[in-house]
């Protein structure tokens, strides 16, 4: 079907309707004439001839009339064929709803479009409805109902599916029957037209108009028209928007021209415009325009002449475009081109472009520099003549190879300047050669450094581990690199870890909270430092300090994570050793609350942190000059002290006079030189008028010339720290002396045992009347006194043997009161102020009684005559540790022994607990009284202190830990029946020959068979050969590598049930760690007498056979 314009389609439709109406009229005339004539002729033919003869003329007329009607029918059929062709050309057809209102007769053209069979000119109405789109069926039915029921001409439009499945649009005019040829008289009929193409063209026209409008708005293009006769300039709606007008764009041409910005562009546009008006020359110009709404823009104006029928120019018209963005873009493009040229010249890489003959088309400045040629304009020169390209050089060769082969060539090495390493890339192009020069001298050095770094990383002791940057979800990022230290630290090989994850190092004791912190840091791609407990391949634990950092590429994206791990296991052991000191330092640091200060030397202002009032108190005007309390430059609260220039000495008024010169000299030296830090220790007077020790540290900030401009520092109150340090020094000194005295006492006990033992043997052998007995008794008494001195030494060094048990302190003091009173004369009064609360402490009662007796005797010595000694008991609870007193938290029973004697000076009181320190006359006392008391109390887990002042007396305080149990009710045990020696065999192991001889003598006299061994190795050899011993009596500490405890263990392994009696000059708790004997193992402490040895041996032999340690 031919596509027609809307106007042609409607015109053809009107013509077809007229033709149709004529054909209907002719058809009706034909039907009205042909049938009667035919009947008349048939009737005449039936009449006999003789009867018809008189009427012959009528028959001829009828035949002529029939022939005329047949000719008219032929013409009618021809016109009908022509009408069908016209219908097909116009997309028209006829249709009729038959009287049954269920059938439709349609023309062949319409049936073909809708896909009905050609041989069926009648189809069911339902079949037609099925081809109509569902959304149009109701409107179709309503129009059809109006045509059939109301018998009126109805126009309808609907969409239906054609034979190919496409949707087509139809328009129909339907009315009562007879409206078209062959229509049913009682039905409805009409004309139907396929207007699909018409609707599509209308849609395309609408879309085109809309797109034209949108394009005008988007491209800011509008149309204009100038009427020569009226001199009026007008424009489209888009033009009005372009020139900044809200109303229609109509104005005189002069008003429009006046809004052009004066200049060369305006003059050129005006000239071109009037030339077009006068001569009809087309123009295209750009000029700047002041818009009616006050802004400015650039307009591109295109125009040509409009002529009448005679060729006279009656108007001009054209297009107008806002090209402000284009002008701006061109300017920006020019700037970009200039910038690109600058960038190319400033690039760190060199570029050369030349043709196949070597003519240089481009060379940037960097290429000049790399090749070492003058910075001249070489464009147009020749690479072989103007550049350093010696024949046969590698650089010249790669250019030649690229020209000959047409393939890119590469070179790296020295090409012109020695020690300059250049990477050359030569690329053939259609026009010639492009040469890329990259100075890789630093990169080459970096590669060499990288190789050195690889070698160093392989040998560094810290583990370096690199993983992929993947989410930490299971199984986690894979390891891509570890150094050799990884295998040494963990036991895993590189093959074990590479491709796996660091989780193979984790185990049950790995800190989950720290793993969560690592996970968060990895997810945020942030560095983190932490410490983890990891596992080696053999299952052992180690602690690692881990630094994890993200590795970023040039775009800032994280590609990997690198972790540096350091085994801190040994460091932690060392840290444990220093933990107590660190805790003391932390407490002292927190207590100090350092004062931060900032001195701006240019403004003369010193800023102190707010806690400065704690030491200085409110700062007065007279002390430091003008004072302003406010905020620091960094907006931190504090005190701002304005110091007049040259009046820094005002701040020195609080400093101790002996320290001022040191401060000024150190400040002058630091500020006058090039020092970056300053430190000075001095004393300062507080608001309570007491002197405090200050440690002042500062950083010196200098300008570019080195002149000091600012000092920032911190003042630390180290008064308590100084006192603590002195006490710590004293404690360390006492500990050192204690270790020394303990060792002396151990060796001394061996000698005393020999002396006392041999005295016992000689006294047993001599008659009562022997003149030697007094001499032996003198030796015996002297040895006993030496044993007491040794006991005091062990007490001070905390190595004496104690039998700790719950002891009621008040009860012990009451039971010892008579002993205390006998130790002093009647001129001194002794009083008791005992607490009502329970005073059960965990101590050795016998040693405590001796310690209190020592304190009472010392107190009596300090009282000249008529004085008083008071023993007081009380309880106290320590909530927090007191470092100065070395008192841990807990409950204590406190004993105060106070006298009102002469007192002691601070220097004497500080040394009172030192062994052998005494203020008595030479030969009076040993100086071990207070020191033994101090060692005993410390060995019990308590603390001893002393407070004294000359002329006001002395108080010695003993703090003893409270016992968890009450004092036991000890009933007297029945004495054991004595058992004489029955020839039992005893192996005596003792490295001291004299002491071994004494033991042998005593035991042999009691009837025992004694075998001697001088050390542990000899004892083991004897035990291997002889298993007939009933008892092993061995010293614990012996030279030679095998101690007494090891001998005892071996003996019981070889001979289960073997009895053992240990002996030692050290207490049980003071034995070295590798020689600690079990608590239930019998031990005879040196010095011992012959009777004590005999009793201990008899007790051991009388006991049941032991089951081992």
CB distance 839 to 810 below 8 Å? yes
H/E segment holding residue 157: strand 154-161
Q: How far apart are CA 380 and CA 386, in angstroms?
A: 10
Backbone angles phi, psi at 829, to 5 degrees: -90, 140
Q: How far apart are CA 123 and CA 104, in angstroms?
A: 5
CA torsion 1062→1064→1070→1074, rounded to 10°? Answer: -60
> What pLDDT band is residue 628 in, cutting at 50, 70 and 90?
very low
* Each residue's pLDDT tens digit, 190-225: 888 888 888 888 887 777 666 656 655 656 788 899
Q: Which residues pair with 160 in a beta bridge?
A: 132, 168
Q: How far apart are CA 495 and CA 968, in angstroms?
A: 67
H/E segment holding residue 309: none
pLDDT of residue 45: 58
Once rounded to an integer, what is the mean pLDDT over residues 319-330?
A: 86
Q: Which two tokens stand for residue 320?
A: 């107008």
Q: Which two tokens stand for residue 956?
A: 């010695």
DSSP state of 1068: G
> What pLDDT band is residue 417 in, cutting at 50, 70 and 90?
confident
What structural domains and CATH numbers belong to the chain? 6-202 (3.30.450.20), 220-326 (3.30.450.20), 347-441 (3.30.450.20), 460-567 (3.30.450.20), 576-717 (3.30.450.20), 745-788+978-1109 (3.40.50.2300), 802-961 (3.30.565.10)
> What pLDDT band is residue 186 in, cutting at 50, 70 and 90?
low
H/E segment holding residue 448: helix 441-459
Is the model's pLDDT at 774 over the cut of 50?
Answer: yes
CB distance 718 to 683 below 8 Å? no
pLDDT of residue 183: 42
* Each residue's pLDDT tens digit, 1041-1065: 888 888 888 888 888 888 899 888 7
> What pLDDT band is residue 378 in, cutting at 50, 70 and 90?
confident
Q: Which two tokens stand for residue 580?
A: 């107590």
In sequence order, what are the residues at sequence separation of 6 or more whose Cβ sits closer than 8 angstroms to the Cβ of residue 627?
A: 619, 620, 621, 639, 640, 641, 642
In sequence order, what are the residues at sequence separation of 6 or more whose Cβ sits closer than 8 angstroms to the Cβ of residue 471?
A: 477, 523
Once rounded to an integer, what is the mean pLDDT over residues 701-716?
A: 87
> What pLDDT band is residue 973 in, cutting at 50, 70 and 90?
very low
Q: How far apart are CA 462 and CA 565, in angstroms?
A: 6
Is the model's pLDDT at 276 over the cut of 90?
Answer: yes
Strand order of the β-sheet with 409-413 is 360-363, 349-355, 432-439, 422-428, 409-413
Q: Map residue 231 onto helix, strand or coil.
A: coil
Is the model's pLDDT at 550 over the cut of 70?
Answer: yes
Q: How many CA atoms lie within 13 A of 1107 on its CB side?
A: 0
- CA angle 592/597/598 to nearest 5° reads 165
Is the model's pLDDT at 315 over the cut of 90?
Answer: yes
Q: Which of 315, 6, 296, 281 has the alpha carbon at shortest distance from 171?
A: 6
Q: Map residue 108 onto helix, strand or coil.
A: helix
Once rounded to an integer, what is the mean pLDDT over residues 320-338?
A: 81
* Each residue's pLDDT tens digit, 490-524: 999 988 888 888 888 889 999 999 988 988 888 88
pLDDT mean across residues, the chain: 78
CB distance 119 to 219 below 8 Å? no
Q: Which residue has the higher pLDDT, 613 or 313?
A: 313
Neighbours of 657 (CB within 10 A): 9
Backbone angles phi, psi at 234, to 5 degrees: -135, 160
What Rg value do the Cα atoms of the chain yield, rounded? 63
Q: Which residue has the higher pLDDT, 888 or 959?
A: 959
Q: What is the largest CA-CA distance in the chain?
A: 222
Once rounded to an integer, what is the mean pLDDT over residues 1093-1107?
A: 81
CA torsion 248→252→255→256, rounded to 10°? Answer: 60
**Percent of all residues in the chain with a pLDDT value above 70, rounded to a whole number:** 75
- CA angle 169/174/180 to nearest 5° reads 110
> What pLDDT band is residue 390 in, cutting at 50, 70 and 90?
confident
Q: Map residue 902 onto helix, strand or coil.
A: coil
Q: Give one DSSP letter per residue of 679-713, joined into a string.
A: EEEEEEE-TTS-EEEEEEEEEEEE-TTS-EEEEEE
Alpha carbon of residue 678 to chain centroid: 36
Q: Map residue 828 onto helix, strand or coil.
A: coil
pLDDT of residue 271: 94
- CA angle 29/35/41 to nearest 5° reads 130
pLDDT of residue 643: 41
Q: Which residues pair with 154 in a beta bridge?
A: 174
CB distance 1083 to 803 below 8 Å? no
pLDDT of residue 266: 92
pLDDT of residue 790: 61
> What pLDDT band is residue 6 in, cutting at 50, 70 and 90?
very low
Once rounded to an integer, what is the mean pLDDT over residues 130-143?
A: 88
Q: Which two tokens stand for residue 1056?
A: 């289960």
Q: How far apart are CA 485 and CA 465, in angstroms?
A: 10
H/E segment holding residue 887: none
* Each residue's pLDDT tens digit, 1010-1045: 999 999 899 899 988 888 898 999 988 888 788 888
Highest mean pLDDT among 581-595, 719-733, 748-762, 915-929: 748-762
pLDDT of residue 408: 92
E strand residue ranges, 602-752: 605-608, 627-631, 637-642, 677-685, 691-702, 708-717
H/E segment holding residue 1061: strand 1059-1064
186: region left, alpha or beta (phi > 0 left; psi from -120 to 50 alpha): alpha
Q: Which residue has the higher pLDDT, 179 or 676?
A: 676
Q: Which of 1038, 804, 800 has the alpha carbon at shortest distance from 941?
A: 804
Q: How far apart are CA 813 and CA 855, in angstroms?
A: 13
In sequence order, what are the residues at sequence separation of 6 or more whose Cβ sits closer than 8 angstroms to the Cβ of residue 707?
A: none
Once rounded to an integer, what is the mean pLDDT over residues 811-815?
A: 88
Query: If you search the block for the tokens 């049936």, which residue do you land on?
Result: 111
Q: How far apart are CA 169 and CA 930, in angstroms?
A: 126
User: Minimum mean pLDDT among 477-481, 714-718, 929-933: which range?
Assistant: 929-933
Q: Which two tokens stand for residue 149?
A: 């029921």
pLDDT of residue 981: 60
Once rounded to an integer, what is the mean pLDDT over residues 771-775?
A: 73
* Each residue's pLDDT tens digit, 71-87: 766 766 666 666 566 56
Q: How far is CA 305 from CA 4, 235, 272, 318, 829, in A?
A: 33, 16, 12, 9, 143
Alpha carbon of residue 431 to chain centroid: 55
What angle separates helix 6-46 from helix 196-219, to the nearest 10 degrees? 170
Q: How far apart are CA 790 and CA 756, in angstroms?
A: 14
Once rounded to an integer, what is the mean pLDDT over residues 720-743?
A: 62
DSSP state of 1069: G
Q: Which two tokens stand for residue 397?
A: 């060769």
Q: Which two tokens stand for residue 671?
A: 């500020």
Q: How far apart are CA 179 and CA 21, in angstroms?
A: 7
Q: Where are the alpha helices (DSSP H) in 47-192?
A: 49-52, 56-90, 108-114, 125-131, 134-149
Q: How far apart are CA 826 and CA 739, in angstroms?
A: 40
Q: How many CA atoms lie within 13 A of 820 on its CB side?
A: 27
Is the model's pLDDT at 282 over the cut of 90?
Answer: yes
Neighbours of 261 (CB within 10 A): 13
Q: How far apart are CA 129 and CA 260, in angstroms?
A: 66
CB distance 833 to 870 below 8 Å? yes
pLDDT of residue 977: 44
Once rounded to an integer, what is the mean pLDDT over residues 794-800?
A: 50
Query: If you search the block for the tokens 């006998």, which residue do you land on?
Result: 822
Query: If you search the block for the tokens 């005393």, which residue do you land on?
Result: 752
* Each residue's pLDDT tens digit, 28-78: 555 555 555 555 556 555 555 554 444 456 556 666 766 766 776 676 666
* Each residue's pLDDT tens digit, 443-454: 888 788 877 777
> What pLDDT band is residue 226 in, cutting at 50, 70 and 90?
very high
Query: If you search the block for the tokens 């424009």, which residue do you land on?
Result: 235
Q: Which residue has the higher pLDDT, 629 or 677?
A: 677
Could you tell me whether strands 558-567 and 943-949 are parallel, antiparallel, or unpaired per DSSP bridges?
unpaired
Record the pTM: 0.31
Strand order of the β-sheet with 985-989 is 1009-1013, 985-989, 1031-1035, 1059-1064, 1083-1085
């Amino acid at each position: 079907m031919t596509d027609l314009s809307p106007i042609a389609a409607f015109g053809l439709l009107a013509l077809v309707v007229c033709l149709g109406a004529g054909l209907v009229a002719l058809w009706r005339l034909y039907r009205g004439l042909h049938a009667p004539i035919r009947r008349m002729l048939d009737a005449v033919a039936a009449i006999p001839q003789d009867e018809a003869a008189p009427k012959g003329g009528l028959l001829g007329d009828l035949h002529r009339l029939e022939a005329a009607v047949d000719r008219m029918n032929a013409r009618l059929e021809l016109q009908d064929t022509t009408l069908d062709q016209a219908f097909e050309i116009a997309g028209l057809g006829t249709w009729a709803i038959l009287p049954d209102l269920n059938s439709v007769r349609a023309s062949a053209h319409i049936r073909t479009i809708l896909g009905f069979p050609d041989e069926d000119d009648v189809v069911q109405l339902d079949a037609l409805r099925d081809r109509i789109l569902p959304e149009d069926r109701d409107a179709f039915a309503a129009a059809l109902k109006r045509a059939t029921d109301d018998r009126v001409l109805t126009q309808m439009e609907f969409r239906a599916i054609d034979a190919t499945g496409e949707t087509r649009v139809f328009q129909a005019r339907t009315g009562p029957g007879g409206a078209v040829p062959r229509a049913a008289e009682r039905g409805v009929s009409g004309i139907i037209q396929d207007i699909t193409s018409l609707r599509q063209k209308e849609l395309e026209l609408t879309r085109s108009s809309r797109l034209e409008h949108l394009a005008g708005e988007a491209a800011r293009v509008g149309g204009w028209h100038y009427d020569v006769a009226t001199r009026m300039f007008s424009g489209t709606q888009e033009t009005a928007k372009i020139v900044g007008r809200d109303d229609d764009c109509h104005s005189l041409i002069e008003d429009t021209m006046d809004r052009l910005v004066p200049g060369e562009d305006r003059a050129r546009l005006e000239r071109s415009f009037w030339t077009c008006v006068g001569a009809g020359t087309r123009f295209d110009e750009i000029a700047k325009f002041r818009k009616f709404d006050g802004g400015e823009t650039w307009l591109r104006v295109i125009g040509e002449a409009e002529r009448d029928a005679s060729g006279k120019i009656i108007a001009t018209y054209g297009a107008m475009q806002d090209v402000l963005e284009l002008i701006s873009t061109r300017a920006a493009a020019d700037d970009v081109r200039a910038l690109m040229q600058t960038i190319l010249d400033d690039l760190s890489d060199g570029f050369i472009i030349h043709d196949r003959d070597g003519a240089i088309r481009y060379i940037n400045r960097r290429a000049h520099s790399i090749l070492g040629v003058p910075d001249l304009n070489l464009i147009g020169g020749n690479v072989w003549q103007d550049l350093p390209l010696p024949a046969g050089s590698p650089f010249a060769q790669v250019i030649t190879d690229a020209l000959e082969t047409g393939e890119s060539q590469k070179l790296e090495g020295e090409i012109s300047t020695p020690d300059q390493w250049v990477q050359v890339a030569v690329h053939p192009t259609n026009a010639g050669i492009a040469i890329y020069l990259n100075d890789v001298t630093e990169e080459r050095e970096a590669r060499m450094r990288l190789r050195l770094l690889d070698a160093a990383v392989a040998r560094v002791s810290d583990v370096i581990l690199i993983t992929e940057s993947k989410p930490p979800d299971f199984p986690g990022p894979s390891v891509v690199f570890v150094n050799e230290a990884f295998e040494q630290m963990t036991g895993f090989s590189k093959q074990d870890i590479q491709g796996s994850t660091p989780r193979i190092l984790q185990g049950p004791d790995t800190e989950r909270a720290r793993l969560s912190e690592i996970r968060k840091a990895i997810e945020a791609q942030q560095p983190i430092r932490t410490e983890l407990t990891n596992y080696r391949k053999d299952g052992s634990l180690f602690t690692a300090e881990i630094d994890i950092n993200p590795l970023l590429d040039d775009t800032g994206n994280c590609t990997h994570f690198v972790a540096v791990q350091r085994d801190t296991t040994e460091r932690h052991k060392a840290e444990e050793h220093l933990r107590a000191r660190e805790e003391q330092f932390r407490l002292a640091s927190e207590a100090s609350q350092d004062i931060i200060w900032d001195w701006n030397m240019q403004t003369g202002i010193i800023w102190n942190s707010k806690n400065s009032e704690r030491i200085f108190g409110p700062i007065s005007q007279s002390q430091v000059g003008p004072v302003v309390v406010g905020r620091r430059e960094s907006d931190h609260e504090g005190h701002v002290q304005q110091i007049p220039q040259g009046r820094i000495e005002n701040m020195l008024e609080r400093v101790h006079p002996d320290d001022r010169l040191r401060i000024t000299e150190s400040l002058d030296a630091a500020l006058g030189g090039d020092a970056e830090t300053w430190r000075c220790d001095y004393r300062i007077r507080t608001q309570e008028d007491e002197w405090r020790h200050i440690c002042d540290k500062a950083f010196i900030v200098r300008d570019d010339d080195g002149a000091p401009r600012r000092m920032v520092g911190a003042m630390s109150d180290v008064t308590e720290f100084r006192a603590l340090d002195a006490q710590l020094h004293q404690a360390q000194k006492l500990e050192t002396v204690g270790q020394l005295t303990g060792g002396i006492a151990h060796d001394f006990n061996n000698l005393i045992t020999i002396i006392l033992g041999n005295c016992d043997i000689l006294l047993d052998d001599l008659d009562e009347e022997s003149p030697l007995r007094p001499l032996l008794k003198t030796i015996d008494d002297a040895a006993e006194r030496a044993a007491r001195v040794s006991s005091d030494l062990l007490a001070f060094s905390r190595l004496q043997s104690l039998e700790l048990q719950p002891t009621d302190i008040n009860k012990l003091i009451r039971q010892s009161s008579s002993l205390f009173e006998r130790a002093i004369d009647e001129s001194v009064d002794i009083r008791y102020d005992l607490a009502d609360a329970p005073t059960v402490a965990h101590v050795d009662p016998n040693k405590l009684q001796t310690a209190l007796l020592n304190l009472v005797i010392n107190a009596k010595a300090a009282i000249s005559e008529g004085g008083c000694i008071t023993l007081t008991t009380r309880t106290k609870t320590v909530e927090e540790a007191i470092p100065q007193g070395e008192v841990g938290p807990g409950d204590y029973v406190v004993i105060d022994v106070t006298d009102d004697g002469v007192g002691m000076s601070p220097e004497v009181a500080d040394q009172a607990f030192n062994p052998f320190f005494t203020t008595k006359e030479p030969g009076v006392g040993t100086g071990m009284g207070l020191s033994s008391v101090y060692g005993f109390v410390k060995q019990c887990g308590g603390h001893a202190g002393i407070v004294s002042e000359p002329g006001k007396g002395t108080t010695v305080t003993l703090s003893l830990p409270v016992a968890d149990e009450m004092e036991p009710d000890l009933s007297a045990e029945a004495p054991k029946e004595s058992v004489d020696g029955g020839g039992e065999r005893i192996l005596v192991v003792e490295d001291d020959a004299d002491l071994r001889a004494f033991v042998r003598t005593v035991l042999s006299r009691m009837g025992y068979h004694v075998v001697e061994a001088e050390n542990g190795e000899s004892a083991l050899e004897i035990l291997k050969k002889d298993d007939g011993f009933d008892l092993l009596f061995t010293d614990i500490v012996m030279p030679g590598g095998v101690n007494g405890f090891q001998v005892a263990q071996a003996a019981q392994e070889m001979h289960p049930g073997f009895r053992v009696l240990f002996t030692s000059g050290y207490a049980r708790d003071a034995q070295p760690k590798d020689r600690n004997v079990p608590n239930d193992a019998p031990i005879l402490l040196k010095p011992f007498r012959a009777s004590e040895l005999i009793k201990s041996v008899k007790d051991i032999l009388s006991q049941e056979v032991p089951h081992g340690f």
